[in-house]
Structure 1
Amino acid sequence: MIMKSNIKRNLLKGLVGGLSLAACSISFAQQTAIQYLSGTGSDKTVNWQFFCTAGRNSGKWTTIPVPSNWEVQGFGKYNYGLDKDSVRGKEQGLYKYNFMVPANWQGKTINIVFEGSMTDTEVKINGRSAGETHQGSFYSFLYDITKLLKYGKKNLLEVTVSKHSANESVNGAERRGDYWIFGGIFRPVFLQALPVEHMAHVAVDGKATGAFTAKVKLAALAQANEVTAQLYTMDGQKAGNAFSTKIKSGDSIATLQTTLASPLLWTPEFPNRYRVEFTLLANGKPVHTIQEKFGFRTVEVRERDGIYLNGVKIKFKGVNRHSFWPTTARAMNETRSIEDVLMIKDMNMNAVRMSHYPPDAHFLNACDSLGLMVLDELGGWHKAYDTQVGTKLVHEMIAHDCNHPSIIVWDNGNEGGHNFELDHWFDELDIQQRPLIHPWQVFRQFDTQHYINYDYGNETHLHGHKITFPTEFLHGLYDGGLGAALEDYWELMWHHPLSAGGFLWVFADEGVVRKDKNDSIDTDGNHAPDGIVGPYHEKEGSYYAIKEIWAPVHFEKKDITPAFTGQLRVENRYHFTNLNQCKFTFKLTSLDGLNSDAIGTVTVPDIKPGTTGAITCNLPANWQQYSVLYVTAYDVNQHEIYTWSWPIKLPVDVARIFVQTEGKTEVTVAEKDSLIVATAGDVSLTFHTKTGLLQTVQNGNGIIPLSNGPVLCEGETGFVKWNTRKEGNAQVIAAEFQKKSLCQLLEWTVYPSGWVKMQVKYFPKEYETSLVGINFSFPESMVKSVQWMGAGPYRVWKNRMKGGTLNVWNKDYNNTSTGEGTLIYPEFKGYYSNFYWMKLNTTGQLLTVVCNNEDIFLRLFTPKFSVTPFNTAPVFPTGDLSFMHGISPIGTKSQKPEKMGPMGQKHMFYDYGKDPMYAKDITLFFDFSGKE
């Protein structure tokens, strides 16, 4: 087992209260010194001499920043873990670094510590081996180099790193996975100087009861005869009395115990921590002092029930996370770790799984201080470490990570990469006795199967008796999965007593900047663009869907009517927070600009976790004059949980204000050749007498290229002929259809103002149907931008409706293929919900469309999909612009949408023998006048 020390000097303050890279025991007394040989992270590096044996820039001595992965520094060969062995780069990296050791270090114990090196690492000091080659990439290891150093003089460090391990089980566990594989010293390297008699390691356990136990590993005892300890709050106040234990020469472990009355407990909602200071004494004289941060909390698994934290049953809202950044690969830094944790928490998640290896210590520190539950994982992807290597790595991982209160569960490998012979080490080495799982397997009390279909059966998943805990679900390739179908899954998980929640795959697209490809982003085709966010953490639509679905404030469905009193019923889905500890505000907005915003308070009563109550918006008397009500919830740290929106004015109300029908121009209708021609001043429309479709639109400024509609998304209209009639100053062109046809009504009303109303009543083609609506053609090449009122700014799918806000949005045209190529978010093309009106800006004239109906989707063209989309290229209607009652769902990399819950099913509609009263109705108004 290895010792850790306080190795971070530049602490980020405020957010984390002083994070450090240290993990399990932190030595920093006056007898201990730390000297970095590398930088402290990817943002602060030190150049070492470097020689790459093969691939790019090989065969010559140069320099390289440490820590780093050499591929992203221009050396060697890039490989994805699924590449064939014959094309893999198997180069070595030779490192040299000269360093001085202070003369006053002589007589101390000196360790050299490597926080992570890929993969086999051989270390020499002044030409002499520091010890056996270390195998395993993601684990902190050290060598005692006391006898190899020249004190007060220059020393030479030589490191040989073999990217491909000599141990095939290491390659199988770490380097043949579904992720990028790299080489190099990618985490910090430093020296520790400790007194000869010292505490080599500390493991602590603080229970929710206040019971505290520590096991201190002792080294080279001679005179030391006591270990004392004192608990402190994080602001330095003593917590309880000092406690101690006597030791004697030859002892290797000292056990200390105490009890703190009524401690503040660690939870992801209230991540309270304490500090403990240990001192090794020799006849009352301090020999060595170390400190450790920890949290009081108890993790308990109750068979056929669930996971409990401090006696409270937990639902994990989690995501898998790789340690990765496009320009630095696996080399990370403290700032990046904090940003990742904050982004994960911003999505209202409470947990993160380390995939598929232990992370940097600063990431765990961020989880500790900011509040995320962690599944910490021993490497292994379909293949496992052999027992000899695996045993060493389990020891290293638990020694490095054991004291983090954020770690709730250990993982032994992933998806078949489980060596059962290593299981007992987790049980024996972890003082806190955290539960152990085998991700993907049914193991011990857990069913952690991956990518289960909704409502999986056959006595497994939620139909079995194990605690259901999928450590990967809803594989988010491109724009599929993740937010799509999550609402169905989560409502089932939330209400089922055997569900402990689960973990989405994956946090971010793993796209690497290729130095050999003009710094382009490479996701290895469809292997790595699986994220909620892009490579540089660009937020995709699923980000906001997850944020709403996993919000711990869950609103009961509510329509705002004139009888609304300001009350909204909410369910508290926190585990430890009363909603009256949160803050709520409301805002009334007029999207027509007729009224200034009104902002007010929300009264929140006592609503305990797991209960439901009513909050009250203290609305002004004129609230009905506004367009939309927004309610924002803030957590106990004043961070926004989410902002919800409710329409006050419906589309028909907005259309009544928007549309102008009056004018001084006479409207005429005539038949010419095979066309019906309607004119209102300089506005002219033509309709085909055989097909019943709009052919052309033009005015005094030229053509508005809307045409070829309305076409039903599925099925034929049954058009027979046109009839015309006059209604006041307007002319109506009305279609006649075959008996019992899909279309029941199509009328175009042309007004003297140049506005035109189109009303369609129709039936879907089948009882079960994919698309419901009408389409038009419009040249995409002419489009510059769109302004619209509706839910936005991101597009939706049938099974991903959450995450949008009712507002007026503006968006420039883009052709983004989600997760591929140049990423511009939000994407332009796709479906948009709760459509009120749009203004389509083009290289020609403006096209304005206003909707008179609720629950209509706007379809803007067909998105660009990958050539290998799996289930993530949903069906789209023909044409370019659509106005729809029903849109398509989207699948995941491994699942079709219909297997992912009710929202992924086809639309079902019974037409009662084409009874007109059940027909779907769309009424649209078009401004063809050419006026802004």
Structure 2
Amino acid sequence: MVGSEDADFSYVESRQPGRGRRPARAFFETSLPGIDLDGPWRFRLAGGLSDVTAGFEAEDFAEGEGADGWTDLPVPALWQLQGHGTPAYTNIVYPFPVDPPRVPDENPTGEYRRVFEVPDDFPIHRGAVLRFEGVDSCFAVWLNGILLGDGKGSRLPTEFDVSGTLRPGRNVLAVRVHQWSAGSYLEDQDMWWLSGIFRSVRIIPCGIADFFIHADFDAESGAGTLRVDVSGPATLSVPELGILDADPAGPHVCPDVEPWSDETPRLYEAELAADGERILLRIGFRSVAVDDGGRILVNGKPITFRGVNRHEWHPRTGRTLDRATMLEDVLMMKRHNINAVRASHYPPHPDFLELCDTYGLWVIDECDLETHGFELVGWRGNPSDDAAWREAYLDRAERMVERDKNHPSIVMWSLGNESGVGENLAAMAKWIRNRDGSRLIHYEGDRASCAYVDVFSEMYTGPDSVRLRGQQEEPPPEDPADDAHRRRLPFMLCEYAHAMGNGPGGLREYRDLFDEYPRLAGGFVWEWIDHGIEQTAADGTTYFAYGGDFGEEVHDGNFVADGLVFPDRTPSPGLLDYKRISEPVRVLCDADARTLTIANRHHSRDTGYLAWTWRAEDDGVLVAQGVLELSPVAPGSEATVHWPELPAAKPTGERWLTISGSLRADEAWAEAGHEVTWAQARTNEPAAASPSRPAPATPARVAADSIHLGDATFDAHSGVLRSIAGIDVDGPRLDLWRAPIDNDERSLYATPLAAAWRHAGLHRMRHKTLSVEPSESGLVVRARVAAAGVDHGMDVKYRWTTAEDGTLWLTVELDPYGQWPCTLPRRGVALTLPATLDQVEWFGEGPGEAYRDTGNDARVGRFRASVAGMQTPYVRPQENGNRRAVRWAQFTPVNGATEDAADDDAVSGLEVLAAPTTNLTARPWSTRALEAAQHRSDLRPDGRIHVHLDQDQCGIGSSSCGDPLHESEQIHPAPTTFTVGFRRIAVFVGGRG
């Protein structure tokens, strides 16, 4: 079972893209019968070229079982996710020596065999093509023992002519796939290294070989001009436009066509016909240009990208996706106000582009190219500027453009990602322009000169620098000619707002800049989905693995989990935040004038598709609601209207008006009633803030080892609260630490915040009680909080009093001492409650988590959740679940009801009060356990509810791959006072009959 010494494996380390392949062409479905080769194949994984199976390609080769290693493997699939070998993740570093074009001897090699029948109705007389949609990373192919050729370019199609090899009846297809090849140097794309035939394989009869749809739109006249370049004689029919059995070349001028855009993805059904073959086309008329002001125009209208970067991913099948999963992605994007996708960093499955055509998403189609690992060696040997790699670069550009050229959703071709600079990239751009001048060319790596691109593109540029680019005041490149050229171009963030873990923060600031400066074409959040691999822990719970979980020699940890949706496609708080920021129609509430301004940010669509409703709530309780009849607002326009008539508000409490714009009727991407936009305003004056030290009602009483204040009991030695009305309480005590988020732990441009916090000892603070002072007015506890080995800390004074209604009030006075070397993660108090009080109702912002610079989607109201339901399951556990601006919160048992509960049929719950608001977090585990956990399966409830009441908490930011957290979002040590209250509430358990 060893390879033949005479076998030719030179193609593996050859820079050439392949041998024996047919020219690249468009992806399309034909009416001619094809042969689908997806399904179970026989498979064996060899350890390298010295371990391959001699003669496995022969027709009469018999795959052995057991020790011979042959088994069934589905195609399409990635073999590491089917139990053969292990996944590996790196962001930049190559997982092999950087010695192009050589690869290691330890080169896992998959041997595939498929026996299939050519049915009687297959038109074999026409000839046939064997098409692979995607094979990672290099492969050779035999049909009936005859070598057809080999290929590279994992995320691109490869075709072989089998006209003289295919035969009626039994046929044997053999494929040898290598994990590493020279092509791997061009595919260093911040993702799992996975291998195999991961997209479909089929045999297609020869017929119409290729076609190119040119469907231009004249914005001034509204006319469309259509021509279709076809290889060979054919006729074109577009019944809606009156084109029947016509010459495809035309040109056909069609007055008053409806153009295609993300907002109105109008497609005209058409057909090409030749020699009994029919190909269905879907034609979208549109034009793409850049005007003198540096704006991107589609159909004559300026557009702004509210985009995401999208890798293909599924937690069980990796980059092998079915159509249902792709549709789920598209629908989720549309429902969250996303209008654009950058196909990072390779052409996606053709079905995804077809779905973007159908539902309306702008697409930047990106070449299967990234050489980022060369940056770590000073770009020495980078293929981008090495003529020996020229053919491979041009081949990848050609195969992308030819496959995808007929999709109206594609408005830019991207040369690739993070591949340095060089003449090979310039050659790609030149080839693409000559082939297709109807789209813009993008490449972020050319940002210094923008010599061969149509868009000035950067990634992770901070807001201050983005503002300069909007003002065309960015620092100039060295060459004045490059400067003049670049300042004429639109500016776009191809990546920003890194959505790793809890985040991203600061989205609104970018959105406001995009609105303010016409040159700014928007941006693409990094990225769509966390690339976690689903695993099962020993106790049966599932979790998502990331880099390092499979014993990789080099890896980049959970940097692969940086998406707006979790691996199972559950929306993260970051996606909800982005939806709010990306609203195409915005509502501005003026509480003084009692008016609403409807601002339509659509480029082509008025607001008539929205139905408007309002609701008024007093302290979170609905008191009135109704419908707003608003006239449609034209695209790019605003209209101001008066508020609806509202009933009189109570003299105390908070009246909030919520305006909502939802789909009036079903759309292709969502049902009627789906909310697109909303806004809130408080309609009455805020009540005066509660006093920081409420008037005392009872004195403190000392008894043995305890102190009693009202119905509260304190430890006489430490001054710590132990119970309220029989409810077991531990705390509250000063808390300055949070389980660091990914943006705390990582920073591109500065010392990570978490490193500075740990150096200052904030994760190991100790409490020293200085005095416990009961008195007629209450209880004062003085303490000092500091860490071992440092001479800075906090002096803390806890002032406890009771009010006439029995509320126990705590005022915390903080005074930092010493020279503080850092900011604070949080500033608040922490306590624990019995695990039975695991239902929480609160009045404040919700329903989801929110921090200083996130939570744009949070609205003021009354919300209820279990403590378990308040957790956000980030792939790597970290600080999460904060509810902002909470006025009060009630902790009760399951099935608890506080309304009308009488003491004789009730148990105790606990109400937390704020003066005026607090940040609230409640967890079934401690911060220490949260910080120690590596996966969500590591977290186990510990029998207590851990409650955090924060006067403030540090912002979120995007520093794991972006600017450091802005000073305004950080907490600096300073004298501070804040107040919270506690009281027992009666809770009836079990519901009323």
> Could you tell me which residue of structure 2 aligns to residue 20 of structure 1?
none
For the pair 1:229 / 2:214, whether they are aligned, the reply is: no
Alignment CA distance shift 1:930-1:107 (3 Å): closer
Alignment CA distance shift 1:773-1:163 (3 Å): closer
- 8 Å contact kept, 1:509–1:531: yes
Alignment CA distance shift 1:672-1:64 (3 Å): closer
**Cα distance between partner residues in 1 of 2:826 and 2:498:** 28
Alignment CA distance shift 1:27-1:156 (3 Å): same
Q: Alpha-carbon deviation of 1:788?
A: 2.2
Q: Alpha-carbon deviation of 1:920?
A: 5.8
**Cα distance between partner residues in 1 of 2:417 and 2:470:** 18
> Could you tell me which residue of structure 1 aligns to residue 952 of structure 2?
886
For the pair 1:263 / 2:263, whether they are aligned, the reply is: no
Structure 2 stretches lacking a partner, 5+ long? 1-20, 52-65, 98-103, 373-382, 475-486, 548-556, 739-761, 784-793, 897-906, 936-944
**Cα distance between partner residues in 2 of 1:711 and 1:392:** 56
- 8 Å contact kept, 2:853–2:969: yes
> Could you tell me which residue of structure 2 aligns to residue 876 of structure 1?
none
Q: Alpha-carbon deviation of 1:647?
A: 5.1
- 8 Å contact kept, 2:533–2:545: yes
Whichever residue aligns with residue 417 of structure 2, its letter is: N
Q: How does 1:202-217 map onto structure 2 within 5 Å?
A: 202-208=212-218, 209-217=222-230
Which of residues 586, 589, 593 is equivalent to 2:614? 586
What is the DSSP-based 3-state SS (H/G/I as helix, E as strand, rest coil) of the residue aligned with 1:469? strand
**Cα distance between partner residues in 2 of 1:356 and 1:189:** 22
> Could you tell me which residue of structure 2 aligns to residue 602 of structure 1?
628
Which of residues 474, 489, 497 is equivalent to 2:510? 489
Alignment CA distance shift 1:516-1:779 (3 Å): closer
What is the DSSP-based 3-state SS (H/G/I as helix, E as strand, rest coil) of the residue aligned with 1:426? helix
**Cα distance between partner residues in 2 of 1:903 and 1:374:** 35
TM-score normalised by L of structure 1:
0.78
> Could you tell me which residue of structure 1 aligns to residue 160 of structure 2?
143
- 8 Å contact kept, 1:299–1:434: yes
**Cα distance between partner residues in 2 of 1:903 and 1:635:** 37
- 8 Å contact kept, 2:46–2:108: no
What is the DSSP-based 3-state SS (H/G/I as helix, E as strand, rest coil) of the residue aligned with 2:440? coil
> Could you tell me which residue of structure 2 aligns to residue 793 of structure 1?
847
**Cα distance between partner residues in 2 of 1:570 and 1:406:** 28
- 8 Å contact kept, 1:450–1:472: yes
Which of residues 785, 799, 808 is equivalent to 2:863? 808
**Cα distance between partner residues in 2 of 1:885 and 1:724:** 27
TM-score normalised by L of structure 2:
0.73
Q: How does 1:252-651 map onto structure 2 within 5 Å?
A: 255-280=249-274, 288-302=277-291, 305-382=294-371, 386-416=389-419, 419-420=424-425, 421-430=427-436, 432-438=438-444, 441-442=447-448, 443=450, 444-456=453-465, 463-464=473-474, 465=487, 466-481=489-504, 484-513=505-534, 521-524=544-547, 525-556=557-588, 558-559=590-591, 565=594, 567-589=595-617, 598-616=624-642, 618-621=644-647, 628-635=656-663, 637=667, 638=672, 639-646=674-681
Whichever residue aligns with residue 852 of structure 2, its letter is: K
Deviation per CA, 1:483-526: give whole Å up to 9, x if none: x1111122122212221111111111101236999986322122
> Could you tell me which residue of structure 2 aligns to residue 49 of structure 1?
42
Q: How does 1:686-725 map onto structure 2 within 5 Å?
A: 686=714, 694-699=720-725, 701=726, 703-708=728-733
What is the DSSP-based 3-state SS (H/G/I as helix, E as strand, rest coil) of the residue aligned with 1:397? helix
What is the DSSP-based 3-state SS (H/G/I as helix, E as strand, rest coil) of the residue aligned with 1:133? strand
Q: How does 1:733-772 map onto structure 2 within 5 Å?
A: 748-751=800-803, 754-758=806-810, 770=824
Alignment CA distance shift 1:607-1:743 (3 Å): farther
For the pair 1:904 / 2:921, whether they are aligned, the reply is: no
Q: Alpha-carbon deviation of 1:278?
A: 2.8
Alignment CA distance shift 1:102-1:392 (3 Å): farther
What is the DSSP-based 3-state SS (H/G/I as helix, E as strand, rest coil) of the residue aligned with 2:190? coil
Which of residues 821, 832, 844 is equivalent to 2:883? 832
Q: Alpha-carbon deviation of 1:732?
A: 5.6
For the pair 1:777 / 2:802, whether they are aligned, the reply is: no
Q: Alpha-carbon deviation of 1:553?
A: 2.5
- 8 Å contact kept, 1:786–1:813: no
Alignment CA distance shift 1:243-1:707 (3 Å): closer
- 8 Å contact kept, 2:326–2:352: yes
What is the DSSP-based 3-state SS (H/G/I as helix, E as strand, rest coil) of the residue aligned with 1:544? helix
Whichever residue aligns with residue 148 of structure 1, its letter is: T
Alignment CA distance shift 1:651-1:678 (3 Å): farther
Alignment CA distance shift 1:203-1:191 (3 Å): same
**Cα distance between partner residues in 2 of 1:450 and 1:91:** 36
What is the DSSP-based 3-state SS (H/G/I as helix, E as strand, rest coil) of the residue aligned with 2:627? strand
Which of residues 113, 116, 121 is equivalent to 2:134? 116
Structure 1 stretches lacking a partner, 5+ long? 6-22, 39-45, 233-237, 246-253, 281-285, 726-730, 870-878, 912-918
> Could you tell me which residue of structure 1 aligns to residue 984 of structure 2?
927
Alignment CA distance shift 1:652-1:688 (3 Å): farther
- 8 Å contact kept, 1:71–1:182: yes
Q: Alpha-carbon deviation of 1:569?
A: 2.3
**Cα distance between partner residues in 2 of 1:471 and 1:580:** 32
Whichever residue aligns with residue 844 of structure 2, its letter is: G
> Could you tell me which residue of structure 2 aligns to residue 239 of structure 1?
241
**Cα distance between partner residues in 2 of 1:717 and 1:601:** 59
Q: How does 1:94-105 map onto structure 2 within 5 Å?
A: 94-102=112-120, 105=123
- 8 Å contact kept, 1:101–1:154: no
**Cα distance between partner residues in 1 of 2:238 and 2:582:** 36
Whichever residue aligns with residue 189 of structure 2, its letter is: G
Q: Percent identity?
A: 20
Deviation per CA, 1:335-372: give whole Å up to 9, x if none: 11110011112221110111111001111111111111
**Cα distance between partner residues in 2 of 1:613 and 1:397:** 44
Aligned CA RMSD, in angstroms, stands at 4.4
> Could you tell me which residue of structure 1 aligns to residue 484 of structure 2?
none
What is the DSSP-based 3-state SS (H/G/I as helix, E as strand, rest coil) of the residue aligned with 2:368? strand
- 8 Å contact kept, 1:478–1:818: no
**Cα distance between partner residues in 1 of 2:121 and 2:631:** 66
The more displaced of 200-209 and 859-868 is 859-868
Deviation per CA, 1:196-228: give whole Å up to 9, x if none: xx4533333332443324342425xxxx5xx43
Alignment CA distance shift 1:187-1:96 (3 Å): same
> Could you tell me which residue of structure 2 aligns to residue 27 of structure 1?
30
